[in-house]
Chains A and B, each alone.
Chain A
Amino acid sequence: MSRITRRNFVLSVGAVSTATSVLGWPALGQAKASGGRVVVIGGGFGGATCAKYLRRLSSDIKVTLVERDANFVTCPLSNAVLGGLYDMDFITHDYKALRDEHGVKVVHDSAVDIDPDAKKVRLAGGSTLKYDRLVVSPGIDLQWDAIEGYNEAASATMPHAWQAGEQTMILRRQLEAMPDGGVVIIAPPPNPFRCPPGPYERASLIAHYLKNNKPRAKIRIFDAKPKFSKQPLFEQGWQALYPGMIEWISETEGGAIDGVDVKAMAVKPTFGEPQRGDVVNVIPPQRAGAIAEVAGLTNDSGWCPIDQRTFESRVQKHIHVIGDAAIANPMPKSGYAASSQGKVCATAIVASLSGQELPEPSYVNTCYSLVGPDYGISVAAVYRLGDDGIAAVEGAGGVSPKDADAAFRLAESRYAVGWYQSITSDIWG
């Protein structure tokens, strides 16, 4: 331990008083210690961000992150793995930095129950964790059997690949094994669902792989929706890069599927005959991750109503829900939105525990999609809190311009990867 000198002392006190006066905290006599125990369930984009930023905002807070898996495989860029641009390692992240550098206690286990009165979380491994504030960031669960015949067992043959990892690898292996001249079927769900542009980026990057390896193959998208995210930009990109390869059958043309026949490798559209594919990627309807429902945090929609200022549950006090599971519209269910919500939520919790005022929240979304390796497009939005909750700032945000040149698309393809490297290091780094 270094020896305390009078000079050090003066410097340190001087630094404190300068900092406090510049930063405009409330009178120090009134501020409370910001310590407390926060448990975060789910180590994805929302939960891991929230855990890290809680510690960044206050090293007094004890943060325990409960995450089932030792590593997290991101959905962002998993379509690029399907297209052969990256391997699984590139999209896999561990919790070492959160644990060793940011002082987050990481527990690899699953939350099975929450007692909001006793403020306890019960884990599958048998232990319980006590909390002052709980953050629930469980992502999505898939609604098995919402499409007749499509359940967890079926997903081994007809992968959804909408939670990245083993499912991503199954779909990739199937693409590698399919014959030239074969058909890939993609069946996206109705709104709301995780990553609105995702199915169409997936079609694009599978087309990139097929164009170079199986150029006579086709992709058919049987869609439960009459329109989709960034549609004019995707369609323009498909025309430029993969003419004639991708067919989109909209909901109005009977694209929604009612069921699947796993044995026949077929989907059953609303109108007409079952349609066979060599590879069938069914992306089923979704709801908040199971723990949210078990804990009674969901409403009839299957998602979690929250105070959009603090992300505190409308159902249970001292429990916050962020990310895909939360009703935060008009913010999309995207990784970037979840991370932005994790930061606002962390600030709200620190404010609450320390008796400070919560600065006016600010939220953002930025999502890149790769149409090809050198062809990127984006959507952006800035949000602030209005009288009716979160609102997109008018006149800001929007999608990439339709008439942009090749240099613009190339730049956005590079930024798409830069975006990925930045946000994943901001969360897991």
Chain B
Amino acid sequence: MRTSIRHLNVTLLIAAGLLLGQTGQAEELSRGAMLSASCEGCHGTYGRSPGAIPSIAGKSAKYLRQALERFRSGEVPSTVMGRHVKGYTEEEIRLISEYLSKQK
């Protein structure tokens, strides 16, 4: 019994491994990741900034979306963010906010 469960586990793990293999241990090729890659240049990889530019990793999607929308409207003054955020649609801002909120 014990042997067969182990055998089953190994078989299923190979199956799971194949699933992983098909997508690699890859990140998703998603529009959210594509858009957010633009943010990572200034805000750091995965939104973790090593310097004077604020880190944005792991903030909630709601917080990020609101911040971006307020930069866009000018409600929150900014140096460069207002200029950037006008380049994205509302849907794109939602995708960026969701992607970055999942990074740590």
Chain A residues close to B by CB (< 8 Å): 4-6, 9, 12-13, 16, 19-20, 23-25, 28, 31-35, 53, 56-61, 336, 339-340, 343-344, 347, 350-351, 354, 356-364, 366, 378, 380-384, 393, 395-398, 400, 408, 411-412, 414-415, 417-423, 425-426, 429
Contact = CB atoms under 8 A, between A and B. Distances in A.
A23 B28 contact: yes
Given A382-B38, A426-B41, A418 B51 contact: yes
Given A61-B24, A382-B88, A362 B38 contact: yes
Contacts, number: 181
B52 A366 contact: no
A25 B21 contact: no
A400 B79 contact: yes
Give the contact-size bracket for chain B: 35 or more
Contact of B29 (A57, A364, A420, A422): A57
A395 B84 CA distance: 10
8 contacts: A6-B9, A12-B13, A34-B22, A336-B41, A359-B30, A363-B38, A380-B80, A426-B45
Nearest to A413: B52
A4 B9 contact: yes
A411 B10 CA distance: 57
A421 B13 CA distance: 41
Interface of B: 5-6, 9-10, 12-13, 16, 19-31, 33-35, 37-38, 40-45, 49-53, 79-80, 83-88, 92
For the complex of A and B, list the 7 residue pairs with the smallest distance between their C-beta atoms, beginning with the closest.
Answer: A382-B87, A418-B52, A396-B87, A421-B51, A418-B51, A364-B38, A58-B24
Contacts of B21: 33, 60
Given A359-B34, A415-B52, A396 B83 contact: yes
Nearest to B85: A396
Contacts of A24: 30
Contact of A33 (B13, B16, B24): B24
B24 to A, nearest CB: 4
Nearest to A398: B83
Contact of B50 (A5, A59, A362, A421): A421
B27 A366 contact: no
- Which of A12, A35, A381 is packed against the most chain B CB atoms within 10 Å? A12
